[in-house]
Chain A
Amino acid sequence: DVKVTQSSRYLVKRTGEKVFLECVQDMDHENMFWYRQDPGLGLRLIYFSYDVKMKEKGDIPEGYSVSREKKERFSLILESASTNQTSMYLCASRVSSRSGTSGLQETQYFGPGTRLLVL
């Protein structure tokens, strides 16, 4: 069965702290994604990684960075947390879409989310 896990369900941090959100998948997927979810805005892509050590910016990368040292793990980093980064963060993974169009049809599998509150 497909499994995407996120290290924390709830986090409370203070403004200026460095925050790490971890995501692990056990499906040997090449592609991994970080989204943030806000009411009325749906999900917006922050960063994605199409393979180990490979990353690309999504639609809202400002204030975030990522790390993909191992295939199964994709970390989202808030270098200096701010209150406007209070949100729900969702990680997803998928088989590769870099070769041809085969990956386009593949499902993204989501983790349960991390709800982050920055005070």
Chain B
Amino acid sequence: AQSVTQPDIHITVSEGASLELRCNYSYGATPYLFWYVQSPGQGLQLLLKYFSGDTLVQGIKGFEAEFKRSQSSFNLRKPSVHWSDAAEYFCAVVAGEYGNKLVFGAGTILRVKS
């Protein structure tokens, strides 16, 4: 069965520092991968998604992610973090017979210190 692991429950970075959030997936074929962000008290917003082609994907708010098949990873990065990036981040993979559901990781809470 498809699964997603986000090894870091919490990460704290200083404002202006670079960020990398880790995501590992388990899936037999080419995965469809997503990163979502959830600000406090809000629903989930899509940051970026990968289906095929270029393994470096650009998203909104200055985020990017790199798909590495050999490592079964899809890590999210940002070169310079802003205080408004403090939120919870979820990695997800499409699953199910018709790709009719998303399987989510447990999430990584990002704290930004000034």
Give me the interface of A with B, judged by CB distance under 8 Å. 4, 31, 33, 35, 40-45, 48, 50, 56, 58-59, 90, 92, 97-98, 101, 103-105, 107-113
Contact = CB atoms under 8 A, between A and B. Distances in A.
Given A40-B9, A104-B32, A105-B49, A48 B107 contact: no
A27 to B, nearest CB: 14
Interface of B: 4, 6, 9, 32, 34, 36, 41-46, 49, 51, 90, 92, 94, 98-102, 104-107
Nearest to A107: B46
A110 to B, nearest CB: 4
A112 B106 contact: no
Given A40-B106, A58-B101, A112 B43 contact: yes
A108 B41 CA distance: 18
Contacts of A111: 43
Nearest to B97: A56
Contacts of B90: 42-43
B100 A107 contact: no
Contact of A42 (B51, B101, B106): B106
B51 A105 contact: yes
A109 B36 CA distance: 10
A74 to B, nearest CB: 14
A107 B34 CA distance: 9
Contacts of A59: 101
Ranked 4 nearest A-B pairs via Cβ:
A104-B99, A42-B104, A110-B43, A110-B44
5 contacts: A31-B100, A40-B107, A42-B6, A48-B101, A104-B94
B2 to A, nearest CB: 11
